[in-house]
Amino acid sequence: MSQNIEQHELYENARYRIKQKKRLYFHFIVFLVGSVFLIILNKIFKVGETLIENWFVWAIILWFFLFILHVINVFVTKKFMDRNWEREQIEKLVKKQKLKIAELEKESLKKIEEEQKLIESKKKENQQNSLNKE
């Protein structure tokens, strides 16, 4: 049963990575077509030439920067911080929380024991005081 779950997780992870890469490649195609479109707008149709002569260069540089961020996200960040990494981080946090809960339980048990000892000692004192008065 667990092997089926593992295979399913591997399949889902592979499908997720393929979807990420597919989006990246689509972004690259849109970037190329969009860059050509911006060049044509500026050079042939003279759009925006009154403001800045080669404004398309800045637009393409900005878009290229965003594309590079997308590449880093897909091939660097997501590769190392995938679902296995997330699972490990969750397991670490759960383990820390369990340890903290265990420590708090030990502390509370110690306090309860101390309080019970105080109560018992007070009861004994009261009993001795009442015996001494008689």
Across the range 20-48, mean pLDDT stands at 95
Residue 32 has a pLDDT of 98
**Both structure tokens of 92:** 């670490």
Of the given ranges (27-31, 72-76, 87-91, 92-96), which has the lowest mean pLDDT?
87-91
Crossing angle for the helix pair 55-72 and 2-43, nearest 10 degrees? 170
Taking only the tens place, the pLDDT of each residue in 42-83 is 999 988 888 888 899 999 999 999 999 999 999 998 877 877
Which segments of 44-82 does DSSP mark as H helices, in order? Answer: 55-72, 78-80
pLDDT the model gives residue 41: 93
Percent of the chain topping pLDDT 70: 98
The residue ranges of every structural domain in the chain are: 1-81, 82-134
Position 62 scores a pLDDT of: 98
Decide if pLDDT at 100 tops 70: yes
Q: What is the rounded average pLDDT of the residues 26-46?
A: 95
The three-point CA angle 24-30-43 to 5° equals 145
Can you read off the two tokens belonging to residue 89? 């981080």
Helices then strands, each counted (H, E), the chain: 4, 0
Please give the pLDDT value at position 1: 62
The DSSP letter of residue 134 is: -
